[in-house]
């Protein structure tokens, strides 16, 4: 029997963003990462072929995050040294790029100076050949200085910097333009603010083709449904011709999942929930796989087993 032809065509493709610059392009990266360019939701080849597969960035931070022992052990002793941690992510966990969070820059933690943060970026750029995503410390005041220093230290490397919000977009746009980096536009689980930040960036003269959207990630079980739907709506709006939303999307899975009780606490706290050493990475993997279906292009992940399982189904 003849069945309906259900294929649809998009009005606009999602923009394509390349992160990292090779030697001949003014950087020192050994390889680059390209995301975006979609013409349909994931897997729907009867609508068209999406040109780039989603990528996974390995979670690295300058101080050891407040993570359960089993996760720290799974990563290994390298977790204590950001450059070795990054190398292990690339060589053993096979990630496509590295996301570095400069948590220690926060005045509430190690209060590391912007110069020290920038030195770490230089070290990382030498330690790995993959592109970098660079985040501040979460301390708004300090991050302006930290990101400025780090941006300069990585000048020409075409990194992805995080992040521009409604309150700091001017500074971030200026920094990324000056040093030729790509920029993350961030919104707090609110599709209208997500659009607004992009409008502001465009008004500030920033080219939206250099933007990756971040709607803030919610862990599985903690508002996953809200973010899933925001990402899906943003993607559909983009494909239907809303150029403010036609941008690749990022999910910070590791950060959120590893602060939930479900991923970190054993059967003493969650009786009959199964071995947390297995449950934790599966919590991260299922959360990541879920967001991929909503149109995520770039996942930041931490547990090697979660990375391995999700990567297997991207390939």
> 158 vs 264, which CB is nearer to another protein?
264
* Cβ proximity to another protein, 209 vs 225, nearer residue: 225
Specify whether the CB–CB gap between 283 and 307 falls below 8 A: no
Site for another protein, rule CB under 8 A: 1-4, 6, 41-46, 66, 108-109, 138, 218, 220-226, 228-229, 232-233, 236, 259-262, 272-276, 278-279, 281-283, 285-287, 289-290, 293-294, 305, 309-310, 312-313
Q: Which is nearer to another protein, 129 or 305 (CB)?
A: 305
Alpha helices in the chain (DSSP H): 69-75, 82-91, 114-127, 140-153, 169-179, 191-203, 224-239, 253-257, 261-264, 276-293, 304-314
CB 105 within 8 A of CB 117: yes
Cα 147 from Cα 142, distance rounded (Å): 9
- Least distance between another protein and beta carbon 84 (Å): 26
CB-side neighbour CA atoms (13 Å) of 84: 9
**The two three-digit tokens of residue 225, written as one number:** 């449904």
CB nearer another protein, residue 17 or residue 218: 218
Do 8 and 46 touch, CB atoms closer than 8 A?
A: no
- Compare residues 35 and 276 and give the one whose CB is closer to another protein: 276
The CB-of-18 to another protein minimum distance in angstroms stands at 24
Residue 308 C-beta: closest distance to another protein, Å: 8
Least distance (Å) between residue 200 CB and another protein: 18
Say how many CA atoms lie within 13 Å of 91 toward its Cβ. Answer: 10
> What is the closest distance, in whole angstroms, from the C-beta atom of residue 252 to another protein in the complex?
12
- Contact (Cβ atoms closer than 8 angstroms) between residue 248 and residue 218: no
Query: Nearer Cβ to another protein, position 67 or 206?
Result: 67
**Would you say 203 or 293 has its CB closer to another protein?**
293
The total number of residues shown for the chain amounts to 315
Q: For residue 13, give the DSSP letter.
A: P
Is-contact 161 172, C-beta < 8 A? yes
Beta strands 33-36; 16-19: pairing state: antiparallel
Write down the least CB distance from residue 206 to another protein, Å.
25
| Residue placing its CB nearer to another protein in the complex, 37 or 138 | 138
Cβ 184 to another protein shortest distance, Å: 17
Region for residue 91 given its phi and psi (left: phi exceeds 0; alpha: psi -120 to 50; beta: otherwise): alpha
Answer for the pair 150, 127: CB distance below 8 angstroms, yes or no.
no
- For the bound state, the minimum distance from the C-beta of residue 313 to another protein, rounded and expressed in Å, comes to 5
């Amino acid at each position: 029997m003849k069945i309906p032809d259900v294929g649809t065509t998009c009005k606009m493709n999602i923009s394509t963003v390349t992160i990292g610059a090779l030697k001949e392009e003014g950087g020192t990266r050994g390889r680059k990462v390209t995301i975006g360019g979609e013409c349909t939701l994931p897997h729907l080849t009867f609508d068209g072929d999406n040109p780039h597969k989603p990528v996974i960035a390995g979670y690295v931070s300058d101080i050891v995050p407040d993570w359960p022992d089993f996760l720290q052990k799974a990563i290994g002793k390298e977790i204590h040294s950001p450059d070795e941690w990054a190398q292990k992510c690339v060589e053993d966990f096979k990630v496509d790029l590295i996301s570095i969070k400069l948590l220690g820059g926060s005045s509430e933690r190690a209060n590391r100076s912007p110069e020290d943060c920038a030195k770490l970026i230089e070290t990382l750029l030498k330690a790995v050949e993959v592109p970098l995503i660079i985040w501040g410390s979460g301390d708004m005041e300090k991050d302006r200085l930290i990101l400025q220093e780090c941006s300069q230290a990585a000048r020409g490397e075409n990194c992805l910097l995080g992040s521009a919000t409604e309150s700091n977009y001017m500074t971030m746009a200026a920094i990324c333009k000056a040093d030729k980096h790509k920029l993350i536009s961030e919104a707090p689980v609110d599709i209208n603010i997500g659009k607004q930040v992009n409008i502001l960036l465009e008004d500030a003269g920033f080219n939206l083709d250099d933007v990756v959207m971040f709607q803030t990630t919610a862990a599985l079980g903690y508002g996953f449904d809200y973010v899933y739907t925001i990402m899906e709506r943003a993607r559909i709006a983009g494909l239907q011709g809303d150029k403010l939303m036609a941008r690749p999307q990022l999910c910070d899975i590791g950060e959120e999942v590893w602060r939930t009780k479900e991923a970190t606490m054993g059967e003493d706290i969650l009786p009959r929930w199964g071995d947390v050493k297995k449950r934790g990475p599966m919590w991260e993997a299922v959360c990541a796989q879920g967001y991929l279906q909503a149109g995520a292009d770039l996942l930041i992940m931490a547990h090697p087993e979660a990375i391995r399982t999700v990567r297997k189904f991207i390939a």
